[in-house]
Structure 1
Amino acid sequence: MEYHLTIEETTHKIRNKAIELGFLACGFSQSKHLNEHEPRLINWLKEHRHGEMSYMANNLEKRVNPSLLEDGTKTIISVLLNYYPSIDQESDNKWVISKYAYGKDYHYIMKDMLNDLLLFIQQLIPEAKGRVFVDSAPVLDRAWAVESGLGWIGKNGNVISKEHGSFFFIGEILLNHTLKYDDSQSKNYCGKCTRCIDVCPTKAIYEPQKVDARKCLSYATIEYRSAEIPESIKGKLNNRLYGCDICQDICPWNIKNATPTKIEAFKPLIGDECYTNDYWENLTNGEFKRRYKSSPIMRAGLKQIRRNINWLSDENKICD
Structure 2
Amino acid sequence: MSMPATTCDTSPDLHALAERIRAWGRELGFQQLGITDTDLTEDEHHLQRWLEAGHHGEMEFMAKHGTRRTRPAELVPGTLRVISVRLDYLPAEVDTAKVLGQPTTAYVSRYATGRDYHKLMRKRLATLAKWIEAEVGPIGYRAFVDSAPVMERALARKAGLGWFGKNAMLLNPRAGSLFFLGELYTDLPLPVDEPFAGDHCGSCSACRTACPTGAIVEDRVVDARACISYLTIELHGAIPERYRAAMGNRVFGCDDCQLVCPFTRFTRLSREADFAPRHELDRASLLSLFAWGEEEFLDKTAGSPIRRIGYARWLRNLAVGLGNAPWSEAVEAALWARLPYPSELVREHVRWALARQREKRQRLIAAG
Q: In the alignment, is residue 44 of structure 1 matched against residue 54 of structure 2?
A: no
Q: 2:300 aligns with which of 286, 291, 295?
A: 291
Q: 1:245: how far off?
A: 0.4
Cα contact 2:113–2:281 (8 A) shared by 1: no
- Cα offsets for 1:199-256 (capped at 9, x unmatched): 1111100001000000001111111111x3314413201310111000000001112x
- Which residue in 1 is equivalent to 2:15? 8
Q: 1:299: how far off?
A: 1.6
- Aligned equivalents of 2:119 and 2:320: distance in 1? 31
- Cα offsets for 1:265-294 (capped at 9, x unmatched): 111113169732432333222222122111
- Which residue in 2 is equivalent to 1:245? 255
Runs of 4+ in 1 over 4 A off after TM superposition: 317-320
**Structure 1 unaligned residues grouped into runs of 5+:** none
The TM-score normalised by the length of structure 2 is: 0.82
User: Pairwise mapping of residues 101-250 of structure 1 onto structure 2 (< 5 A)?
Assistant: 101-226=112-237, 228-250=238-260
* Cα distance, 1:187–1:163 mapped onto 2, change above 3 Å: same
Cα contact 1:80–1:171 (8 A) shared by 2: yes
Q: 1:157: how far off?
A: 0.7
* Cα distance, 1:55–1:272 mapped onto 2, change above 3 Å: closer
- Which residue in 2 is equivalent to 1:19? 26
Cα contact 2:290–2:318 (8 A) shared by 1: no
**Structure 2 unaligned residues grouped into runs of 5+:** 1-9, 328-355, 361-368
Aligned-pair identity (%): 35
Amino acid at match of 2:85: V
Higher Cα Rg: structure 1 or 2? Answer: 2
User: Pairwise mapping of residues 260-279 of structure 1 onto structure 2 (< 5 A)?
Assistant: 260-271=269-280, 275-279=284-288
Cα contact 2:88–2:178 (8 A) shared by 1: yes
- Which residue in 2 is equivalent to 1:28? 35
RMSD: 1.7
* Cα distance, 1:303–1:46 mapped onto 2, change above 3 Å: same
Q: In the alignment, is residue 254 of structure 1 matched against residue 264 of structure 2?
A: yes
Aligned to 1:279, the other structure's residue is in SS state helix
| Higher helix fraction (1 or 2) | 2
- Aligned equivalents of 1:303 and 1:279: distance in 2? 16
Cα contact 1:274–1:280 (8 A) shared by 2: no
More off after superposition, 76-85 vs 263-272: 263-272
Cα contact 1:146–1:186 (8 A) shared by 2: no
